[in-house]
Amino acid sequence: MVSTAIVALNCELGSTKEIVKEIKKVSGVDEVKEVIGLYDIIMKISADSVDELKETITKQIKMSDKIFSTRTLIMTNTKENVIPGRYTNRIN
């Protein structure tokens, strides 16, 4: 089963575009966006297991000295989380 997480990052002032560019190169990153508010960047990442997900986040995402902190939310993968009719490409 594929494991997915949302990761929010706080970065050094002025480094957001550079970090987004680097994160896009990381295998498993599905989406990455600059945001305004409590965090500077938010991303969605997937892997074959939770352990692989943790490994990627720890060893490839958090390694930049320009990233001050992260908040990781690992999603549960259950059919109950899908709202019927809301998603056209959902997996049954």
Convert the pLDDT of each residue in 22-81 to its tens digit. 999 999 999 999 999 999 999 999 999 889 998 998 888 888 899 999 999 998 765 555
Q: Rounded to two decimals, what is the model's pTM?
A: 0.78
Q: 1: which strand partners?
A: none
For 21-49, b/e burial (b = at least 16 CB within 10 A) is: ebbeeeebbeebeeeeeebbbbbebbbee
Residue type, 20: V
**Domain extents for the chain?**
3-78
Tokens standing for 85? 């009719």
Say if residues 39 and 70 touch (Cβ distance below 8 Å).
no
| Segment holding 21, helix H or strand E | helix 16-23
Topology of the domain comprising 3-78: Alpha-Beta Plaits (3.30.70)
